[in-house]
């Protein structure tokens, strides 16, 4: 009996570990969103499934994190919403519906209000809305993120993005040199510009970099409140983190870098934060949805930098 009980506990521990691993990998592949809550400018990312959620928030000074499963969701829901009775999956689905407009910068007047408070070293993100005609409250209790988590979601991706952009700069410099050689060949063949305003000097990479450092760098590296990082670089960020997840899965011996390490088949849980909204029943007691909402696949398609095709200059030379 003791052996069977131990085996059962071990099995439940493995299942819970797989669910937490799915949340970790799902959060890593999510993009950052820029939030303005009262006077607080924050960067945040979240990943929500029917098994739990993971949330990461930063004010560019510190990083906070919370990751919970359905048992924590059930307990907290009972403490904050004594008049509501529902399975944890229903609360998670509702939280996804509330966070989706906030993270996508979509105005939904009256649907929910958000605020954040600093309590010692923790950050509490408070949510107030309605569910089935009754008030609904939720508090995300975020503690300071560990150094390894900060490295995983910020330091390593930013280093990868820097290397990718540097590689892109080198490829563009090579392309410009090739264009200069093409123009030189036209000129040596006797061609002349038909429009003088289009004349350019041959590209000198060192001079360009020196001028950039002096004239453009101060403005280009102005981080501000982080909004430009969210609006301009998230495709590259997701490409880099997606590659990071694939490398990790290969090291774990999954054999298929495109699949999740979770025991659940693809598409069964989905990302509730990205799911289309569904009407909520008017009854205070919410049943578990019989049919899961369809949504985008868990796998993130990584954008690839397209190669620039060489085009012959037409209409510029006689």
For residue 309, tell me if it sits in a domain.
no
Q: What pLDDT shows up at residue 145?
A: 97
Q: Are residues 176 and 157 in the same domain?
A: yes
Cβ atoms of 76 and 45 within 8 Å: the answer is: no
Q: Indicate whether 34 and 143 sit together in one domain.
A: yes
Structural domain for 158, as ranges:
149-193+202-250
Does 2 reside within a domain? no
* Residue 5 counted as domain residue: no
Q: What's the full length of the chain, in residues? A: 318
Q: Give the CA angle between residues 138, 140, 143 to the nearest 5°.
A: 160
**What pLDDT, on the 0 to 100 scale, is given for residue 268?**
40
Do 31 and 142 lie in one domain? The reply is yes
Residues 6+ apart with CB under 8 A from 274: 96, 100, 295, 296
pLDDT in tens, the chain (318 residues): 445 555 444 545 555 667 778 889 899 999 999 999 888 899 999 999 999 999 999 999 999 999 999 999 999 999 999 999 999 999 999 999 999 999 988 876 668 999 999 998 999 999 999 988 899 999 999 999 999 999 999 999 999 999 999 999 999 999 999 999 999 999 899 988 888 888 889 999 999 999 999 988 888 888 888 888 998 899 999 999 999 888 888 877 655 444 443 334 344 444 566 554 444 433 344 444 444 333 333 433 333 333 444 444 444 334
Query: What is the per-residue DSSP string for 49-73?
Result: ETTEEEEEEE-SS-EEEEEEEHHHH
Find residue 43's DSSP bridge partners: 34, 58
The pLDDT assigned to 125 comes to 96
Per-residue confidence (pLDDT) for residue 16, from 0 to 100? 64
The CATH number of the domain where 116 resides is what?
2.170.210.10
pLDDT reported for residue 110: 66
Backbone angles phi, psi at 114, to 5 degrees: -125, 145
- Do residues 111 and 125 make contact, with C-beta atoms less than 8 angstroms apart? no
Residue 290 lies in a domain: no
pLDDT for res 106: 80
Q: Which pLDDT score is estimated for 260? A: 41
Pair (85, 208) in one structural domain: no
Is 0.75 topped by the overall pTM?
no
Q: Are residues 124 and 161 in the same domain?
A: no
């Amino acid at each position: 009996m003791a052996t069977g009980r131990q085996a059962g506990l071990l099995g439940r521990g493995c299942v819970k570990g797989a669910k937490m691993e799915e949340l970790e990998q799902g959060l890593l592949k999510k993009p950052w969103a820029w939030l303005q809550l009262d006077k607080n400018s924050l960067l945040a990312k979240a990943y929500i499934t029917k098994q739990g959620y993971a949330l990461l928030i930063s004010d560019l000074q510190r990083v906070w994190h919370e990751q919970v499963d359905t048992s924590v969701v059930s307990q907290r829901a009972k403490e904050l919403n004594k008049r509501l009775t529902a399975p944890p999956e229903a609360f998670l689905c509702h939280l996804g519906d509330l966070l989706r407009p906030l993270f996508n910068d979509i105005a939904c007047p009256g649907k929910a209000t958000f605020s954040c408070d600093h309590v010692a070293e923790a950050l509490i993100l408070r949510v107030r809305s309605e569910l089935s005609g009754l008030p609904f409250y939720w508090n995300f209790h975020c503690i300071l993120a560990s150094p390894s988590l900060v490295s995983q979601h910020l330091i390593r991706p930013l280093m990868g993005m820097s290397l990718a952009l540097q590689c892109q700069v080198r490829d563009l410099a090579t392309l410009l040199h090739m264009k200069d050689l093409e123009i030189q060949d036209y000129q040596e063949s006797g061609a002349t510009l038909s429009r003088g305003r289009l004349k350019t000097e041959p590209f000198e990479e060192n001079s360009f970099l020196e001028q950039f450092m002096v004239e453009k760098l101060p403005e280009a590296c102005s981080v501000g409140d982080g909004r430009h990082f969210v609006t301009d670089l998230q495709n590259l960020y997701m490409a880099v983190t997606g590659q990071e997840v694939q490398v990790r899965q290969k090291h774990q011996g999954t054999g298929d870098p495109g699949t999740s390490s979770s025991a659940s088949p693809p598409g069964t849980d989905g990302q509730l934060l990205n799911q289309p909204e569904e009407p909520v029943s008017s009854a205070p007691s919410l049943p578990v949805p019989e049919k899961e909402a369809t949504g985008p696949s868990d796998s993130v398609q990584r954008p690839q930098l397209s190669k620039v095709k060489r085009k012959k200059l037409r209409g510029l030379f006689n």
